[in-house]
Amino acid sequence: MQESEGKCMDFIDVLNEKILLLDGSMGAYLQKKGMAAGKAPDLLNLESPELIKEVHEAYLAAGSDIILTNTFGATRPRLEEHGCSDKIEEINRKAVEIAKSAAGDGKFVAGDIGPCGLMPEPAGIVKFEDVVSVFREQAEILVKAGVDLIVVETFFDIQELRAAMIGVREASATIPIVSFMTYTPDGKTDTGVTPWAATVILEKLGACAVGTNCSTGPEGMLNIVKKLGRYSSINLACQPNAGLPEEIDGNFVYSMGPADVAAFTERFLEAGVGIIGGCCGTVPETIKLMRQKIDAYGSKKIKESNNNLILSSGSKTISIGGTSPFGIIGERINPTGRKKFAASLSEGKLSVAVRDGLKQEVAGAHILDVNTGL
C-alpha cells in the first residue's frame, strides 16, 4: 500500500537526535478510573471516546513525546473474544482519530499492537502465514488512519512477534516499528527467548528500536536492557511496570509509586535507552517525573554500531568477528546420498534431522546448515 513518508521520516530523524518519552499504562489506568475488570479497553474507543482522549491528554500534559493508540487488543481474534470482531476497522480507526485529536503538532501517535492470542507453528497449531495476516489486517487499518509509527509490544513468543513484524511491514514498507518483548525474572521470555536473540532477530526484521516492556519492575528490566545493548546497533526502548502487582479486594495494586519508577530513568538512559515510558501501574505522575529526569540528563548517548556478523536462533546467538573470527558450521543435515534420511523427509518426519543436529552441536558446531532439498 502507499502512504506518505513525511511524518515517518520526521520520527526517525527526531529519534536519532533526542531521547523520546512514551506514555504510561492505558488498561491499568482505565481500571483505576473505574473500568470494570475483564472489559476490553479497546471497546471504550466507541463507547467512551472522551475518556480515552482524557487519558491521552493527561500523558501529553505530563510530557510524553509519543502516545499509543488504545488498540493493544484490537486484532480480530482478540475482538472475537468479546463478540465484536465485525467492528475491527471502526475500533482501530476511532482510536487513531482520538489520539490524533489529542496529540496536536509536535507529538507522535503510535499504533499499538499486542499479541493476538494465536500461537503459530511449530509451537502452536496455527499456520504462520495466517498469523501474519491477522497482524497485517490491523496494521493496514492503523497506517491508513494516519499513525506515525507502529509499536508491537508485550510479546513473549518470537514466532508470533516475527509474524507481527512481517504483517506490519506488508502493510507498509516505510512505517517505523518499535518492538518490545516481555521477559521473566530469569532473563528469558516464557518461551525461552533471550534478549540478545530477540534484538538480533528484530533488528533484521526492520525495527528502528527494540526493547522490553511489562513483566518485571525497573530494576530487573535494567539488567535486560543492558543485555539487549550488547548486540543492538539500533535504539533501545523500555517500558517498566510499577513493580509486580498484588491483588487486593479484587483490584491490582502495584508495589512502586511514580517516584520509585522514575528514579531509574537516568540508569536506563546510561544503558543506552533512546525511548522510555511506563507500563502497567504507571500513571501520568510517573511520566511527569520521567520527563524531569530526561530534561536534566542532557544529550542522548550515541549507540555504538556492532560490525560483527551476528546470527541467532530464538534462544542462541553467536557473533563472528573481532576476537571470534570463525564459526563452525555443521553440514550433516543433508539428504544427498542418504536414502533413509531422504525417505524420512519425504514422509514429513524430522527425527533424523533433529538427531543429526544434536550430534553436531555436541561436536562443537555453532551453526547448522539444514538442507532439505530433494
Tell me 86's DSSP state: G
Alpha carbon 306 to its chain's center: 21
CA distance 314 to 184: 16
Question: 3-state class of 373 per DSSP?
Answer: coil
Q: Please check the confidence at residue 13 and state whether its pLDDT lies above 80.
A: yes
CA distance 45 to 92: 8
CA-based R_g, the chain, Å: 22
Residue 321 vs residue 161, higher pLDDT: 161
- The listed range with the strongest mean pLDDT (102-106, 191-195, 269-273) is 269-273
pLDDT band (50, 70, 90) for residue 2 = very low
Q: Please check the confidence at residue 87 and state whether its pLDDT lies above 60.
A: yes
Mean pLDDT for 319-340 is 79
φ, ψ (nearest 5 deg) of residue 6 = -55, -60
Please, what are the domains in the chain? 6-297 (3.20.20.330), 309-368 (no CATH)
Q: Please check the confidence at residue 219 and state whether its pLDDT lies above 50.
A: yes
Amino acid at 364: G
pLDDT tens for each residue of 24-59: 999 888 888 888 877 899 999 999 999 999 999 999
- So what's the pLDDT on residue 96? 98
Mean pLDDT (the chain, rounded): 90
pLDDT band (50, 70, 90) for residue 1 = very low
CA distance 225 to 44: 33
- So what's the pLDDT on residue 313? 74
Q: Please check the confidence at residue 146 and state whether its pLDDT lies above 50.
A: yes
- Closest alpha carbon to 22 in 73, 77, 63, 83: 63
Alpha carbon 229 to its chain's center: 15
CA distance 9 to 14: 9
For 91, the grid coordinates are 475500533
Helix (H) or strand (E) holding 39: none
Among the ranges given (132-136, 195-199, 298-302), the one the predictor scored with the smallest mean pLDDT:
298-302
CB 286 within 8 A of CB 264: no
pLDDT tens for each residue of 177-192: 999 999 998 889 999 9
Widest Cα–Cα separation across the chain: 69
- So what's the pLDDT on residue 123? 83
Question: 3-state class of 274 per DSSP?
Answer: strand
pLDDT band (50, 70, 90) for residue 307 = low
CA distance 269 to 113: 25
pLDDT band (50, 70, 90) for residue 104 = confident
For the residues of 225-240, what is the DSSP string, one character each? Answer: HHHHHHH--SEEEEEE
CA distance 135 to 153: 12
- So what's the pLDDT on residue 309? 65
Amino acid at 321: G
